[in-house]
Structure 1
Amino acid sequence: MPKVALFQATSGIDPAENARDLVAAIDEAAEHGAAMLFTPEMSGMLDGDRARAASNIRTEQEDTVLAEVCEAAARRGIWVHLGSLALDRGDGRWANRAFVIDRTGTVRGRYDKMHLFDVDLPTGESWRESAVYKGGEGPVLVEGTPVGTLGLTICYDLRFPSLFAHLAEAGADVIAVPAAFTVPTGQAHWHTLLRARAIEAGLFIVAAAQVGEHADGRATYGHSLAVDPWGEVLLDMEKAKGVGFVDIDLARIEEVRSRVPALSHRRDIVAPSD
């Protein structure tokens, strides 16, 4: 039964400082016997000032946060799901990209966030990710991780159950949902949506989240969660910054799916003809 770690962070506008926090989290996770560490969305830099952020955006090959995380994973012999980094695609747009890094420090998988957060909230907050980011082209699975086959999503993807159904039907045992949820949407929907996605897909959800007041002025909800296939919350980090731990019993997937085999009963929905 693999033990995994979740890093609940308050990432700021300085990539070097965030990299130090990530390396410290890797060290702590390894020291406590975790086979894999999960980190939040925008672990390398969380900065809503896009003009200022642009000075710190690098290509994947040049990104120092990614390089330091890979080095630390190799040094400590631990897998890392790096929730996401803002990266230069080389075509004038940015990518919100997740990475799965193995215990040798090798990148085993990449996923660009498919669904971009373009909303106006009742609080007056307005977000337009599509103004600078380009969405990913499709879902990604990474086989052979300490938690079996890992499906990758990022934050706003949580609201699109068809993506989770696809990942489950393609063989995912665990789906990662790194996030930087706003406080209003987190209070209203975070727990409900994560539990629903776990129940619908009959698998584990691991959701490492940003928390607290950030240097760019925003506030994030926290409550990094691990949810089992029955919808039971195994870990809720609430508002605590730091590293939490949970055991993932993969045998639970077959147990739950044998009781409620909804995944095998799923049918394609065709719109009725006139």
Structure 2
Amino acid sequence: MTKFRAAVLQMRSGVEPEENAEAFSALVAAAVKDGAQYVQSPEMTGMVQRDRPALFERLRPEADDVIAATAARLAVRHGIHVHVGSTAILLGDGKVANRALLFAPDGTRLASYDKIHMFDVDLDNGESWRESRTYRPGGAAALADLAFDGGTARLGFAICYDMRFPHLFREEAMAGAEVLTAPAAFTRQTGEAHWHVLLRARAIENGAYVIAAAQGGRHDDGRETYGHSLIVDPWGRVVAEVDGNEPGYAVADIDTAEVAAARGKIPNLKNARPFLMGEGGKRVAVTGALAEAAE
């Protein structure tokens, strides 16, 4: 089994990517001093910007992105895994990717993941969001193996609104993920109602750690995010949290033996069974994510 120390970085990203890169670097350095071997930043690490023209003015392709370059350098400098929870990446079709990036201690990009589920919602008090107007949704889940001196840990990717779609996490857990991730820029309104319960549920139902770095506070573009970056263990206990919405970090020790123990006690991943949706209906696969016509 594998042990390592993980850190969640809580940020209040503004509209200038270079300034956000500096804040990111400072938080990584502080977490490393506290023993972190894997650090995760929030969704939209590079820029929180609602104004579409202003967003596009500062966006760059991944090869030229300041956050991607900073993360690779930080991984090498500190000899750690650096997980950019997400940053906005300019695509060639007039759209943007909300992209997570994972870098190994030698600076190699181990994996990337584009957010699948778009936050197209209408909340109370006139708060409305349409991510699909700007962002192109991803079409593939992603896994990566984190290598440490004592072994490896398999990590599954998600971003923010993805956490409301449990089949994504279940598919990753069924594919061997022991650590599930959900970096976010959760709105204050939805965070107060759902943040902790959703993340704890994803941990419990999959017997996995959940690591979720978050944006927090009132941003330059006027939006307000919930904060409370946290790490949940496979039994659903919050083992690290940045209390409130101020920038900071929190660390927790990850032990994949705890994943095996939780799944041994409640083996729901093994006990899942296919079923029909109504007599003569479609057969739902074991994980619930796929369906095919019943014979």
Q: TM-score, normalised by structure 2?
A: 0.90
1:256 is aligned, of 230, 251, 262, to: 262
Q: What is aligned with 2:284?
A: none
The 3-state SS of whatever aligns with 1:246 is: strand
Once the two structures are TM-superposed, the CA of residue 242 in structure 1 deviates from its matched residue by 1.0
Once the two structures are TM-superposed, the CA of residue 268 in structure 1 deviates from its matched residue by 2.9
Q: How does 1:75-224 map to 2 (within 5 A)?
A: 75-146=77-148, 148-224=153-229
Q: Contact 1:26/1:73 (CA < 8 Å) preserved in 2?
A: no
Aligned counterparts of 2:20 and 2:81: Cα–Cα separation in 1: 19
Offset from partner CA, 1:240-273 (integer Å, 9 cap, x none)? 4212111112111111111111111112343222
Q: Calculate the aligned-residue CA RMSD, in Å.
A: 1.2
Ranges of 4+ aligned residues in structure 1 off by more than 4 Å: none
- Aligned pair 1:247/2:249, yes or no? no
Q: Against the structure 1 CA distance between its residues 145 and 159, is the aligned structure 2 distance closer, same or farther, given a 3 Å change threshold?
A: farther
Q: Contact 2:230/2:250 (CA < 8 Å) preserved in 1?
A: no
Of 231-240 and 207-216, more deviation after overlay is shown by 231-240
Q: What is aligned with 2:29?
A: 27
Once the two structures are TM-superposed, the CA of residue 113 in structure 1 deviates from its matched residue by 0.1
- Aligned pair 1:234/2:239, yes or no? yes
Q: Contact 1:181/1:210 (CA < 8 Å) preserved in 2?
A: yes
Offset from partner CA, 1:78-112 (integer Å, 9 cap, x none)? 11110001011112110000011111111100000
Count of aligned pairs: 274
The 3-state SS of whatever aligns with 2:124 is: coil
Q: TM-score, normalised by structure 1?
A: 0.97
Identity of paired residues, percent? 46
2:51 is aligned, of 42, 45, 49, to: 49
The residue type paired with residue 18 of structure 1 is N
The residue type paired with residue 93 of structure 1 is K
The 3-state SS of whatever aligns with 1:223 is: coil
The residue type paired with residue 86 of structure 1 is A
Q: Which protein is bigger by CA-based radius of gyration?
A: 2
Q: What is aligned with 1:8?
A: 10
Once the two structures are TM-superposed, the CA of residue 148 in structure 1 deviates from its matched residue by 0.4
5+ residue gaps, structure 2? 282-295
Q: Contact 1:84/1:98 (CA < 8 Å) preserved in 2?
A: yes
Once the two structures are TM-superposed, the CA of residue 76 in structure 1 deviates from its matched residue by 1.3
